[in-house]
A and B are shown apart, each in its own frame.
Chain A
Amino acid sequence: MHRTPIPFGLYAILFLIFLYGPILLMPIFSFNDSIFATFPLKGFTLRHYENMVKEVRLLEALRNSLTVGVTVAVISTALGLLGAMAATRYRLPGRGPVFGSIMLPLVVPSIIFGVAILVILRRIFNIELSLLTVGAGHVLLAVPFAMLVLISRLEGFEKSLEEASADLGERPWMTFWRVTFPLALPGIVSSLLLCFTISFDEFVLAFFLSGTDQTLPIFLFSQLRFPQRLPATLALGSSILFVSTIIVVFSEILRRRGLAPGRPSEL
């Protein structure tokens, strides 16, 4: 390879600063002993976090978000696994349009789904908004991601292993449990974590589809309007950021391990 005149390494570092700089301000200010998010820093304190955990509505919102997130993760991953098996093991007629429409939620602005689902629930079926409707919306958003993760995992190992199992007389269900499932397990865990994060952080659909029970992002959004709540909001934001990051790193490591370096997955 030629040496190029552009110092790529420098660019990469500036890029990371742009990417992480603003995000890292949040945890920095959350430990700052001041009620404003301003420089110069005043000193280290944990009191914003102490105030945060005293907030009852926040804890409720946290519990709601956890419930919705876990449920969404399990359902989306189960659906995604079935879909990924269909995609990798069968030659399906009409595959292009069908998979294209399953992937639509990746592209279509969430606000469209938000208002559309709102219309059909409230105006056509007159269903009350609740955490259930939020969860259903999140499953729609998470399934395409679950499928992409699991398709790349299922493509990563040889079909012949399943065929061998079938040839040796295992019933399809046992082949699934004893061959497919264990081999797909890292992908499954990765998908569970990813779907949980998607739901846990999702704001737009939750904004349109939640009733009186708030999820954490909705609570956070409601707090942004009050300047006096800024420190607690910073603490909350930093905590969410911290948890999400750990989950995502873990999920990414699981997902990328075992994938051949020449075959990077699509996402």
Chain B
Amino acid sequence: MASYAPAAGSGAAGSVWRRAVNARPWLAGYALLSPILVLMLIMMVAPIAALILMSFWTQSGFEIDTGFTLANYWKLIAPSEATTYWMGVPFPFENPVYAILLAKSLVIALVCTVFVLLLAYPMAYYLAFRVTRRKMLWLILITIPFWTSYLLRVFSWKITLGFNGAINTGLKSLGLIDEPLEFLLYNPIAVEITLVHAWVAFAILPIYVSLEKIDRSLLEAATDLGDGPWMRFWRVTLPLSAPGTISAALLVFIPTVGDYVTPTLVGGPSGTMVGNAIQSLFGKQNDLPLGAALSIVMMLVVTLLVCLFLWLIGFRRMRAKTG
């Protein structure tokens, strides 16, 4: 095995290090990894710890009271006699806005994930099984939009869907409509379209990789044993590509729950999500501890849902089977 063990300076320390590395080669591996681990510690672990700590404090005016309290979490779930309804579901909370925004964000992210998979899967399938020439060109064409500014992609939907946007003025100049369609922008549907567009290119890649890995002889075997194309897809291709598809789903779902650029730019009042509430608590409303508590509740809920989902579908077994 090649070794990158740093040639430590001469002297006692150097020889101690060399002996330790000879006994445990992985020490050198961790030595290489240490700058990243330090970065993670400073920029991820410590800040998240601080956020958790902050969620147990309270804000009074511009000062922060550092006495330990669960008041922020209570504020998020405190029950109330008066029940607020959202989409027919009762939210019997004193401050129902946070629970409702969280539920709404989860629903929006879920719908977005479903549409992204429905659109991305055929494209990944096409790339993996149909495209034979210029595969790299296709892959690059698919990848470019993901790497270009998220902000700009959202902005481009704003000018597409707006009251005086491309669709409305385009249809008008074609004589198809007289008045601009007002339902295009500033609602949850605009948020969904923008989110699906933002993520669909990204979701193709993990699905494509898992399709590409499928042993082609398995497909031939299925055909030889009498499966038609649909049966073969259902019984061989789809199960074998499930790990990549599920990874894609999670890579879309989790960040989407916390998105706030899209709802800010194209959501309007009816399209706000929990990310807007967090941003506002850290900004205008200036209640950092409550914002911290809301952020943590959001992460906990998402983590729990994801774990539950993976457990329900038996993800471990699936991965073990398909390699």
Contacts and interface: CB of A to CB of B under 8 A. Distances in A.
Contacts, number: 276
A258 to B, nearest CB: 11
B173 A40 contact: yes
Contacts of A249: 140, 144
A26 B51 contact: no
Contacts of B156: 22-23, 25-26, 237
Contacts of A171: 7
A69 interface: no
Contact of B150 (A29, A203, A265): A203
B208 interface: yes
B94 interface: no
B261 A203 contact: yes
A144 to B, nearest CB: 9
A79 B212 CA distance: 30
Interface residues of B, number: 96
Contacts of B170: 39
A166 interface: yes
A220 B156 CA distance: 13
Contacts of A163: 1-2
A19 B43 contact: no
Interface string A144-170: 000100000000000100110010000
Contacts of B257: 109
Given A26-B156, A115-B282, A244-B147, A107 B205 contact: no
Given A8-B122, A8-B130, A119 B288 contact: yes
Nearest to B216: A1
A176 B32 CA distance: 13
Interface string B122-159: 11011001100001100111111101111111011111
Interface string B226-254: 00010000000000000000000011001
Contacts of A11: 122-123, 126
Given A89-B3, A159-B2, A117 B47 contact: yes
A163 B4 CA distance: 11
Nearest to B158: A224
A15 to B, nearest CB: 5
Interface size on A, as a range, is 35 or more
Interface string B36-67: 11011011101110110010000000001000
Interface string B267-304: 00000000100110010000010011001001100000
A237 B155 contact: yes
14 contacts: A19-B145, A23-B152, A80-B36, A83-B33, A90-B29, A91-B29, A93-B26, A101-B44, A111-B260, A112-B258, A115-B292, A143-B39, A147-B36, A249-B144
In order of increasing CB-CB distance, the 9 nearest A-B pairs are A109-B258, A90-B29, A116-B47, A162-B2, A201-B149, A120-B50, A38-B169, A86-B32, A116-B51
Given A8-B125, A12-B123, A140-B39, 7 more contacts: A8-B130, A11-B122, A22-B160, A38-B164, A79-B36, A111-B275, A112-B51
Interface of B: 1-7, 25-26, 28-30, 32-33, 35-37, 39-40, 42-44, 46-48, 50-51, 54, 64, 119, 122-123, 125-126, 129-130, 135-136, 139-145, 147-153, 155-160, 162, 164-166, 169-170, 172-173, 197, 200-201, 205-206, 208-209, 212, 223, 229, 250-251, 254-255, 257-261, 265, 275, 278-279, 282, 288, 291-292, 295, 298-299
